[in-house]
Structure 1
Amino acid sequence: MKTRFLCQQLGTQYPIIQAPMAGGILSADFIAKVCEFGLLGSIPSGYLTLAQLDTLIQSVKSKTDKPFQVNLFVDHCEYPDKVAKPAEVIEIEKHLGIFTSLDCQLPKHPSASDIIDLVIAHQVPIISTTFGVLRAKDYQRYKDAGGQVMVTVNSLDEAHKVLSEANADMIVYQNALAGGHKGGFNDAEYDVEAVMLTLKRDYPYTQLIKSGGIVNQKDIVFALEKGFDGVQIGTGFLMTQESSASQTYKQALLGVCDDNQLMQTTSITGRQARGIVNELAMLELERSPLFPQQHYATKTIREHAKSHDLPQYQSLWAGNGAVNITSLPELEDYMFSLVYG
């Protein structure tokens, strides 16, 4: 596999990024092993307190001196400390025998500015953003400290916006095949690859990274041949033995045979996300849910389902690449297969 300019920019041996999957699925040891192999490991900061993120960064740094990135959920809104759960969520809680309250607590999350302070202090060389774009002053502070910023987009319009406003050094194009949350920042539909690749015409020196539907070396080679500078992989890493995803989750992923078993849903967290069809994903709500309120409204259900092996009420995020995975390899073997086939 040929290395490209992206590798020089990231400081990696291969143009492959481990997706930053929030929710406690990736340990510091896991991320460090990815970095040591020559890929870019990613620390997800979503749902973590500043102290938890600080500890995770320190732990990764203690295990590797290779570059890694920190991903930020960028949301400049303020939220109340407590919100009412939707009636439909309460009904499920009662069905499962776990109902205790009409409300749910929303913890105080660090601001993007606070996280920028932390990553600068730790000299983290790269950050990526999901759901939004850094404010100009935070972007510039991080740039002045020597960092580089990747922004997740789903459409050409989003990419043009961040590049024309000089708020990104690299673009992660997340297509409709990607698992988990739709990571862009407006309501634009997913653009097809041919449309996204026209970005190279207007910004020829911007590195364009493909995310979605990539699980093996063949997928990587195809993306590079099409004109992408690198790839980001989530589901493939999730389905390794070392990931902290539950065995119920992994077995559900192994059971995905076609796209009809996957769906886009907002009922679990309040944001559009792609995963395995189950009762929670198909939940119909009278009112459109909001993020992150819905994430915390369904948290008790999801935690109960995970501890009791109930796949119908878990958040089983998955990209369509899951249909091409038939085993749970060790992390080292999986990374070897990505590079050497």
Structure 2
Amino acid sequence: MEKKNKLTELLNIDYPIIQAGMAGGVTSPELIAAVSNSGALGTLGAGYMSAEAMKDSILQAKKLTDRPFGVNVFIPEFPEIVEEEVNEANDLLEPFREQLKFEENVVPSVPDSQFDKQLEVAVEQQVAVCSFTFGVPSKEVVHDLKRRGIKVIGTATTVEEAVVNEEHGVDAVVAQGSEAGGHRGTFIHSFETSLIGTMSLVPQVVDQVHIPVIAAGGIMDGRGAAASLVLGAGGVQLGTAFVTSTESSAHQLHKEAILRAEESQTVLTRAFSGKPARGIQNAFIEKMKDYESNLPDYPVQNRLTKGIRKQAAKQNNPDFMSLWSGQSPRLSQRKAAGEIIKEIMEEVEKVL
């Protein structure tokens, strides 16, 4: 197989592999650098970061690699805050706080968006790639980033979303299948109608857009990568596969949960953040599932559960942690990121 293609040329990388920009502290500078130094594209998950923290992580990564890497940011959302809804959610969450033995007075609010400041940092630091989730940046933002030499990657969970990304001028689009771990990137229709599997989504997107398509969702090894390439994808994006890598800064309990999990143990839930996300079933998800439809939208619910998730991690209690994972946890490995990439490429060569 030719390692170089339209996507690798676009991103100036050796292998058509992208490490997903997983927000929440998984993408350490060490992981980003290890991936990029191995010939793939490392990505900083900056979704929840302040602009200052984002800049600090970029600078740390630059000390560890001189290869291209990217940053992933969230398109901001500003839902209406319904006081009754928030109060009901807080009442539901109070038993978890009591069980973790901490008190918290959460003021319902939508956090100030760091989006514009994050983009300023990306431009100032001249990151190679800026990718977006939860929507599409305006045509003006895309044009400005590209004018400054930054490649732009969008996210789509349907063909329609991929077409909109292309119309806004992005350089490439991630086709996020329903198997993917973490938050759904859906932004046009309901997430229920946008749960298309990776192997169904990729060829349909490829047929409708002219930019490189990056397959994502449940891909963990060379077999999944090879299948994606055969279906027309220019490359693959892997998240869960890198969560368990030695350089990942994911909580140890998160890594162990993935390494022990079976394919039937991941579920989609709004319980943690108010936005559908795939993770490993635990007590928090189970106890909240009957109330999900009444919870505040993202990012309000995410703010309400932040203290619970933080305390659970501190107390090594996986029952109340968000253990994001895709549907292929049996294929996870506790290995260095570079070794994972090497094995994937060797297997792609063998399969094709």
Greater alpha carbon shift after TM alignment, 190-199 vs 40-49: 190-199
Aligned residue identity for 1:189? S
Find the partner of 1:139 among 132, 138, 142: 142
Tell whether 2:330 aligns with 1:323: yes
Residue 89 of structure 1, CA deviation: 0.9
Tell whether 2:135 aligns with 1:124: no
Greater alpha carbon shift after TM alignment, 193-202 vs 296-305: 193-202
**Contact 1:49–1:109 under 8 Å retained in 2:** no
- Structure 1 residue aligned with 2:2: 2
- Structure 2 residue aligned with 1:155: 158
TM-score by length of 2: 0.89
| Gap change, CA 1:98 and 1:196, over 3 Å in 2 | same
Residue 172 of structure 1, CA deviation: 0.1
Give 1 or 2: higher helix fraction.
Answer: 2
Tell whether 2:96 aligns with 1:92: yes
Residue 91 of structure 1, CA deviation: 2.4
Find the partner of 1:295 among 286, 298, 302: 302
**Contact 1:47–1:109 under 8 Å retained in 2:** no
- Structure 1 residue aligned with 2:243: 238
Greater alpha carbon shift after TM alignment, 71-80 vs 3-12: 71-80
**Contact 2:175–2:205 under 8 Å retained in 1:** no
Gapped runs of 5+ residues in structure 1?
A: none
Find the partner of 1:311 among 298, 311, 318: 318
Residue 195 of structure 1, CA deviation: 4.9
Tell whether 2:344 aligns with 1:338: yes
Q: State how far apart, in whole Å, the 2-side matches of 1:211 and 1:196 are.
A: 9
Deviations 1:138-193 (A, max 9, x none): 11111211222111110011112222x23322110000100000013122412343
Q: State how far apart, in whole Å, the 2-side matches of 1:122 and 1:95 are.
A: 43
**Contact 1:208–1:230 under 8 Å retained in 2:** yes
Find the partner of 1:255 among 217, 241, 260: 260
**Contact 2:263–2:328 under 8 Å retained in 1:** no
Alignment of 1:149-298 (within 5 A): 149-163=152-166, 165-186=167-188, 187=190, 188-192=193-197, 193-203=199-209, 205-259=210-264, 261-282=265-286, 283=288, 284-285=290-291, 287-298=294-305
**Contact 2:282–2:318 under 8 Å retained in 1:** yes
Q: State how far apart, in whole Å, the 2-side matches of 1:100 and 1:36 are.
A: 42
**Contact 2:202–2:228 under 8 Å retained in 1:** no
Residue 117 of structure 1, CA deviation: 2.1
Greater alpha carbon shift after TM alignment, 216-225 vs 188-197: 188-197
Q: Any idea what SS the aligned residue of 2:114 has? A: coil
Structure of higher RCO (CA pairs closer than 8 Å, 6+ residues apart): 2
**Contact 1:127–1:149 under 8 Å retained in 2:** yes
Aligned residue identity for 1:267? A
Residue 70 of structure 1, CA deviation: 1.0
Q: State how far apart, in whole Å, the 2-side matches of 1:245 and 1:168 are.
A: 30
Residue 78 of structure 1, CA deviation: 7.5
Q: State how far apart, in whole Å, the 2-side matches of 1:5 and 1:293 are.
A: 40
Q: How many residues align?
A: 335
Aligned residue identity for 1:183? G
Q: State how far apart, in whole Å, the 1-side matches of 2:169 and 2:336 are.
A: 37
Q: State how far apart, in whole Å, the 2-side matches of 1:331 and 1:162 are.
A: 30
Q: State how far apart, in whole Å, the 2-side matches of 1:126 and 1:340 are.
A: 26
**Contact 2:136–2:168 under 8 Å retained in 1:** no
Q: Any idea what SS the aligned residue of 1:223 has? A: helix
| Gap change, CA 1:92 and 1:207, over 3 Å in 2 | same
Q: State how far apart, in whole Å, the 1-side matches of 2:48 and 2:261 are.
A: 28
Q: State how far apart, in whole Å, the 2-side matches of 1:133 and 1:256 are.
A: 33
**Contact 1:48–1:109 under 8 Å retained in 2:** no
Residue 102 of structure 1, CA deviation: 5.1
Residue 129 of structure 1, CA deviation: 0.5
TM-score by length of 1: 0.92
Alignment of 1:56-71 (within 5 A): 56-71=57-72
Aligned residue identity for 1:2? E
Percent identity, aligned pairs only? 29
| Gap change, CA 1:321 and 1:258, over 3 Å in 2 | closer
Q: State how far apart, in whole Å, the 1-side matches of 2:45 and 2:67 are.
A: 17
Aligned residue identity for 1:228? A
- CA RMSD in angstroms comes to 2.1
